[in-house]
Amino acid sequence: MTRLGLPPVMWAVFGLVIAAGWVGAVHFLVVHVLMRRRVSEELPPRLLRPRHRA
């Protein structure tokens, strides 16, 4: 069963490539545009702990 001459497994690979590429754009659109959550310009607090020095 092919569509546009491509077998399902190739459709899946191309679909995964596009989905992976669009993850960031979709996340930004949903979280920061639609839900209006501000992009934090500060380091996340859990990363602010003093770093273990050698």
Residue position matching structure tokens 């209006």: 36
Contact between 42 and another protein (CB under 8 A)? yes
Binding residues for another protein, rule CB under 8 A, total: 35
Under rule CB under 8 A, residue 24 binds another protein: yes
Sign of CA dihedral 32, 35, 40, 43: negative
Is residue 54 close enough to count as binding another protein by CB under 8 A?
yes
The answer to whether 16 touches 9, Cβ cutoff 8 Å, is no
Q: Which residues bind another protein (CB under 8 A)?
A: 2, 4-7, 9-10, 13-14, 16-18, 20-25, 27-28, 32, 39-44, 47-54
